[in-house]
Amino acid sequence: MMIRPPLVSVVDDDESIRESLPDLLREFGFAAMAFSSAEQFLASGHVDETRCLILDISMPGMSGPELKRELSKRKLYIPVVFITATGDESAPPNERELGTAECLFKPFSDTGLLAALKAALRVN
């Protein structure tokens, strides 16, 4: 029986992020899927199998923090690594309150992303 790697879902309205991050995540040993909106992710059928979300804070429609709250309402506690292009460090939501492992500012390093994912998934 083959063990499937954990699924990390990327939700970001930035096409370049959706195209590049899944490849990097696969290099790290994760399964990866990308979605252009919170609504697309919720409708995807992959919510239950997602083990970690890389989630843009500011998106048209439902924002990243709003998606995190919606998942909590549904009693789905998926660890989140927020990402943002906003350079203002006061911009991130109270990520600890939302159960967030990390908030990365774009552009972020590969090693920074991997460290955030490991913290979110609590793996070494």
Query: So where are the chain's domains?
Result: 7-121
Domain 7-121 grouped into CATH 3.40.50.970: no
Q: What percent of the chain has pLDDT over 70?
A: 85
Digit-coded pLDDT (tens) for 64-113: 999 999 999 999 999 999 999 875 554 455 545 555 568 899 899 999 99
Q: What is the DSSP string of the chain?
A: -PPPPPEEEEE-S-HHHHHHHHHHHHHTT-EEEEESSHHHHHTSS-TTTEEEEEEESS-SSS-HHHHHHHHHHTT----EEEEES---TT-S--TTTTTEEEEEESS--HHHHHHHHHHHHT--
